[in-house]
Amino acid sequence: MSEDQILSMLEAWDGDGVVLRFDKPTGTWMVIALHSSALGPPTGGTRLKVYPGLRDAVRDAMRLAEGMTYKWAGLGLEYGGGKAVLAITSPLDAAERRGLMHRYGKLLETLGTFFTGADLGTSAVDIAHMAERSGQVLGINRESGEAMDPGPFTARGVLAGIKAAVRHLDGAEGLAGKSVLVQGLGGVGRPLGRLLAAEGAEVLLCDAQLERAERMAEQIGGRAVPSNRVFTERCDVFSPCAVGGVLNEETISTLGCRIVAGSANNQLQVEDDADRLAKWGVLYVPDYIVNAGGAMAISLINDGMHDRDQLFQRVDRIGEAVAGILEEAAASRSTPLATARRRVDRLLADHEETLAPSSGLA
């Protein structure tokens, strides 16, 4: 795409700014999107992915950064919205990857304004390599150099959100006898499936690699579902834990679930899909609220909390946040997404009003 097209996209964005750097040794574009610093320093994960082009990488970073603003504010945590993507052109070998992470870490340290951790495509090893060059990396034990895996904490938060949504619809306090379909058995989907099984839920598992779903189903007593039935399969809860944009005008009309609550970012292709879900009779739990467990845990560790049980207890409060949003949405006859956005917009407006300088006029 042309330079003018990229500039037009950036001009239309309401964020604070976007940082671009090209890494010549690997042909990777580093894209850091800084959406808001109203509540605190822009903070969000770094994902590594092959994109069709630079436009797609920039657009993804900007959407994810805005989601982080709403995620932090929705949980009442004093961080701003930011996100980064490393747009590789093809898979890298170990040496290339380590070099990229070192150079990216140096960029982070130079900027000094963006804090980051693991995300889709980046591993604990990648985070440790970033941290060798930068103090802007979160979720890392500085003494041992070991990086924290946010997946189990994200899964725990999704579980709390699912339980809150089921309680909201059915008045049930647990998940015994409820069916939950987990799409994507990666760093969040796998631990979520195990947690659901421990809760007594009927666990349905779907992955791009059917064999992976079948192996896990055998381990936890669940059932594998082929990818071509992931939307139409009858279940109480559909939990997207893979890529974003899976809920759109075409797929929503085929859904066999009553609730959507999962860890994938940007599950809705467009915001109007929240209204489509409501019209279809599906309760949608906003993704940036229910999937915030990993980000919350990393922020709490950064603030000095290291006890795993305490971290899980704090992450469990995501269920309370979800319950509050669903109750307010029902009372106001609006969608949970619109309710969550109103809450966050009020918080951001109040904060900026508090920080606004006085005119000095009587």
**Could you tell me where the DSSP H helices lie in the chain?**
3-11, 54-74, 94-111, 124-131, 151-170, 189-198, 210-220, 249-252, 272-279, 287-290, 293-302, 308-315, 318-332, 336-355
Alpha carbon distance 58, 51 (integer Å): 10
Nearest alpha-carbon partner for 151 in 187, 124, 183: 187
Catalytic residue among 24, 49, 71, 83: 83
The CA-atom distances, in angstroms, between 27 and each of 140, 160, 216 are 27, 41, 37
Alpha carbon distance 224, 212 (integer Å): 9
Q: Which residue has the tokens 């106001």?
A: 332
7 phi/psi in degrees, rounded to 5 = -60, -40
H helix and E strand count, the chain: 14, 11
Alpha carbon distance 90, 286 (integer Å): 32
Q: Please say if 49 is a catalytic residue.
A: no
- For the stretch 98-117, what's the b/e string if a residue is b when 16 or more beta carbons lie within 10 angstroms of its beta carbon? bebbebbbebbeeeebbbbb
Residue 80 CB neighbours (<10 A):
25
Alpha carbon distance 47, 87 (integer Å): 8
Alpha carbon distance 298, 227 (integer Å): 32
Q: Which residue has the tokens 């959100």?
A: 161
Distance of CA 271 to the CA centre of its chain: 16
Residue 328 CB neighbours (<10 A):
15
Catalytic residues: 83
